[in-house]
Amino acid sequence: MDNTRDLTMTPGPPYRTALQFFPGNINTAAMIETPGPQTATATWSDNDDWYGAIVAIKSGASQPAAVHP
């Protein structure tokens, strides 16, 4: 996630900061045990434009989904 004025961001639970290159740019991460839609939140002070993206990263411990005929 990123906000345009570089205001310090804090991720909402269950997410935690994974990387933060500068105050308004933050990568967050969480282990999600069940598939499906996910929502990520972050807070910062003041009014600012922002953008973000959510992606799934498959870990080495991930199991393949069952295939149904």
Q: What pLDDT shows up at residue 57?
A: 76
Between the two ends of the chain, the Cα-to-Cα distance in Å is: 39
Q: Say what the pTM is.
A: 0.63
Domains held by the chain: number: 1
pLDDT tens digit string along 43-69? 888 888 888 888 877 777 777 767 777
Q: Determine, yes or no, domain membership for 8.
A: yes
pLDDT tens digit string along 14-53? 888 888 888 888 888 888 777 788 888 888 888 888 888 8
Q: Determine, yes or no, domain membership for 64.
A: no
Question: Is the CB of residue 11 less than 8 Å from the CB of residue 28?
Answer: yes
Look at residue 46 and give its three-state secondary structure: coil
Tokens at 23, concatenated: 């105050």
Q: Residue 11 sits in which domain range?
A: 2-51
**DSSP assigned state of 12:** P
